[in-house]
Chain A
Amino acid sequence: MTRKQRRLTMIGGALAVLAIAAALVLNALRDSIVFFTTPAVAAEKQIPPGKRFRLGGLVEQGSLTRGDNLAVSFKVTDGTATLPVTYKGILPDLFREGQGIISEGALDASGVFRADTVLAKHDENYMPKEVADALKKQGHWKDDYGAKPGAAK
């Protein structure tokens, strides 16, 4: 093989791998990304049942009920709309009513959000960034949301 042929083989191989990688990335981006919404946006967009998304907002005061076998249900609110959520399992250490959370899952046929993951803040200064931004956008942000240690129980 001449130098030119060798170089062409190399470049051809590299382009083939990059093309495969690009195809994989585009395919994965179509199928496996999850959008973030708040209850108001979820109602507005009419997300079909079964489509996975991330729901963020505050846990509504007095809405948390615990059922048998670690089943819990609560309501997530963004000040404008609320959405009922059910979850089975152990809630994060800092899950409390009145605090910001993010949960991931999908709506079922009756319009209840079935979460398979619930994330809460890491410490008293931390409000999930997406939730804080969404609340600010809708004018429901209060500065003390973040600052109150162990608020509301």
Chain B
Amino acid sequence: MIAEAGHYALVLALGLAIVQSIVPMLGARWRDSGLMNVARSSALAQLLFVTLSFGALTMLHVTSDFSVVNVFENSHSLKPLLYKITGVWGNHEGSMLLWVLILALFGAMVAAFGNNLPLSLRARVLAVQGWIAAAFYFFILATSNPFLRIVSPPIEGRDLNPILQDIGLAIHPPMLYLGYVGFSISFSFAVAALIEGRIDAAWARWVRPWTLMAWVFLTLGIAMGSYWAYYELGWGGWWFWDPVENASLMPWLSGTALLHSAVVMEKRNALKVWTILLAIVTFSLSLLGTFLVRSGVLTSVHTFASDPSRGVFILLILCLFIGGSLALYAWRAPSLRQGGLFAPISREGALVLNNLFLTTACVTVLVGTLYPLGLEVLTGDKISVGAPFFNLTFGPLFVPLLIAVPFGPLLAWKRGDLLAAAQRLFAAGVAALMAVALVWAWVKGGPVLAPLAIGLAVFVIVAAISELAERIGLLRVPFRTAMHRAAGLPRSNWGTAFAHAGLGVALIGIVCETTWNSERIASMKPNDTAAIASYSVRLDSLVQRQGPNYREQIAQFVVSRDGQVVGTMSPSKRNFATRGMSTTEAALLTRGASQLYISLGEAGADGAIAVRIYYKPLVLLIWFGPMLMAFGGLLSLSDRRLRVGAPKPARAPHDLQPAE
């Protein structure tokens, strides 16, 4: 009964999405406010029905109703409640349902909070959202219905893939989807603006908060996914340049570019055509990511099941939306009016440079991800493009970008003074050189690039701090005045500083982890000791334990440093009988921002167990960096300038024809 209700609610949501795609569009054309307002109510109702549908599937999973195929294949009655809930989206059908739920959520948010938008723009934006939603509802109902029943219900389910039975599944996919799908709003705004043929600074101001929100979630989602892979897969890697990871990185890169070019558009009314293109490209890359992950073209943990008909269907959606929006762009973009002028050396120029490097980096990732697929189709050769490719292409492109980051905020709009900016970065430059010298002296030679990269990171961080100090006049004016000014500084300035500093922090973590991480692989018996970095790790005992739906072997280690015990670690190996699978649960011991990492291999016949021990210096900075960036994004999002003083469209509403 619940399954049928869920199914029915989804069909109703499809119906509403179709209404939402057509009626407001016609309303906007005929300037009929009644028809245009249909968008608002249908978007809200759509959210209601998708939520009901999603709730129904959650209910089925929680109550372990194995008469539903989806539950049977991905759940087990002994599975802990948390994993019963997260298991809802730990499979293809459920994850697509989560995708449309979030899409409907964003649509409803525009409907509910978009009161300051011109009526016709809101109607068109929501109609475009309706197109996307309708396509995906149709996809789910036609190829991936999660509510199908089994004729003769089995007693027990097949359990969720053990790798996914982790708290990470509760956070990573929803965050990532909030990011991916959040960019659909910028896409809808861009397409609506193209249809309307009118775009101005006010448009950028409406779009920017949505883009920023999506970007914050995507940043956190990627960071969370990386940390999850780090502790769950048991070999201490945090980024594999796996096509599926690249699929999330590409929208992040172009989304970051979009965020910056929207600033130029909002402040200076320039780069309009480019910003629209970025908005389209960013969501297209999100769709491409969904296609790569969900179609089964690639095999990875993320590909739950591959079914050729699904791949073809998503490919059709992909072609329709990307092709359609780019065709519309090619047709309408030339009619958009060009905006303000600026010199190459200016804030705008710096942001253009940022865009140039981010999009180029994004293209290299795209090439590395799609080249193997293309080559296989064309010649049948199977190749893999791994970390070396990306280190040789992505790395060199990011270095100039990072050098340029501190200059941007110091340049004036329209025409900047590079020399003056460089003078103000003097302190940061000195700090960077000192950092290079210190690291160099401390490691006594070794890799040349590592100290330089740390110097670059310090440069970015110190520059971000000194930029703030400069703005509030710290050390120049009395301390109290400076604090007063700091409180009055717009939140978006703080946001910029945090986000840029986060970039430097992440870079320090990445460099330290990759350069100075140490690894020991050994076969250990109880009371054996292994030394790593300045720690000594003793295997205390091996114990067996029965978990809710698995058996596990736990190894208990005592970690000491200079004879002092600093902690215990108990990595384990879990065996899930239902799927005949085992997982490795690594143990982590955090010391400052560094971590000791132990994971277990197979047990030998002689009572010894294979053990992998890593010492990863400053590894946590890799994830603190993105968290700082996301925090900066949130600060910027809370800037009152984004909320109050609702911008007015540049021209009167009677002038709705495209600016020919």
Binding site for B on A (CB under 8 A): 1, 3, 6, 9-10, 13-14, 17-18, 20-21, 24-25, 27-29, 31-36, 54, 66, 69-70, 88-91, 93-94, 104, 122-126, 128-130, 133, 149-150
Select one of A10, A34, A90, A91 contacting B352, CB under 8 A: A10
Q: When A25-B367, A35-B383, A36-B383 are in contact, do A93 and B581 touch as well, CB less than 8 Å? A: yes
Select one of B301, B356, B584 contacting A122, CB under 8 A: B301
Q: When A32-B385, A33-B384, A35-B382 are in contact, do A24 and B397 touch as well, CB less than 8 Å? A: yes
A and B contact pairs by CB, cutoff 8 A, 30 listed: A6-B343, A6-B344, A10-B344, A21-B360, A24-B364, A25-B393, A27-B392, A28-B389, A31-B388, A32-B389, A33-B372, A33-B389, A35-B382, A36-B383, A54-B384, A66-B604, A70-B521, A70-B523, A70-B601, A89-B521, A90-B521, A91-B601, A93-B234, A93-B583, A123-B581, A125-B305, A129-B299, A130-B382, A133-B382, A149-B580
By the criterion CB–CB under 8 Å, are B386 and A69 in contact?
A: no
B contact residues around A24 at 8 Å (CB): 364, 392-393, 396-397
Cα-based distance from A137 to B450 in the complex (angstroms): 46
By the criterion CB–CB under 8 Å, are B388 and A123 in contact?
A: no
List 14 additional A-B contacts (Cβ < 8 Å) besides A27-B392, A28-B393, A88-B521: A6-B342, A10-B344, A10-B352, A13-B344, A18-B360, A21-B364, A21-B393, A25-B367, A31-B388, A33-B383, A54-B382, A69-B523, A124-B580, A124-B581
Q: When A70-B610, A89-B521 are in contact, do A13 and B385 touch as well, CB less than 8 Å? A: no
B256 contacts the other chain (CB 8 A): no
Minimal Cβ-Cβ distance residue in A for B342:
A6
By the criterion CB–CB under 8 Å, are B389 and A29 in contact?
A: yes
Q: When A36-B383, A124-B579 are in contact, do A21 and B363 touch as well, CB less than 8 Å? A: yes
A contact residues around B382 at 8 Å (CB): 35-36, 54, 130, 133
Select one of A31, A128, A150 contacting B392, CB under 8 A: A31
By the criterion CB–CB under 8 Å, are A28 and B371 in contact?
A: no
Select one of B300, B305, B386, B522 contacting A32, CB under 8 A: B386
A contact residues around B581 at 8 Å (CB): 93-94, 123-124
Q: State how many residues of chain B have any CB contact under 8 Å with chain A.
A: 51
Cα-based distance from A19 to B441 in the complex (angstroms): 37
Nearest CB in chain A: distance from B348 CB, A: 10
B contact residues around A20 at 8 Å (CB): 396-397
A contact residues around B388 at 8 Å (CB): 28, 31-32
Binding site for A on B (CB under 8 A): 161, 163, 234, 299-301, 305, 341-344, 352-353, 356-357, 360-361, 363-364, 367-368, 371-372, 381-386, 388-390, 392-393, 396-397, 521-523, 573, 579-584, 601-602, 604, 610, 612
A contact residues around B305 at 8 Å (CB): 125
Cα-based distance from A130 to B381 in the complex (angstroms): 10
Nearest CB in chain B: distance from A90 CB, A: 3
Nearest CB in chain A: distance from B343 CB, A: 7
Cα-based distance from A18 to B397 in the complex (angstroms): 10
Cα-based distance from A33 to B573 in the complex (angstroms): 34
Cα-based distance from A18 to B573 in the complex (angstroms): 48
Select one of A13, A31, A130 contacting B356, CB under 8 A: A13
Cα-based distance from A133 to B342 in the complex (angstroms): 55
B contact residues around A36 at 8 Å (CB): 382-384
In order of increasing CB-CB distance, the 3 nearest A-B pairs are A90-B601, A32-B388, A149-B580
Minimal Cβ-Cβ distance residue in A for B605:
A66
Nearest CB in chain B: distance from A43 CB, A: 17
Between B382, B397, B580, the greatest number of chain A beta carbons within 10 A of the residue's beta carbon is seen for B382
Q: When A36-B383, A129-B299 are in contact, do A17 and B356 touch as well, CB less than 8 Å? A: yes
Cα-based distance from A131 to B364 in the complex (angstroms): 28
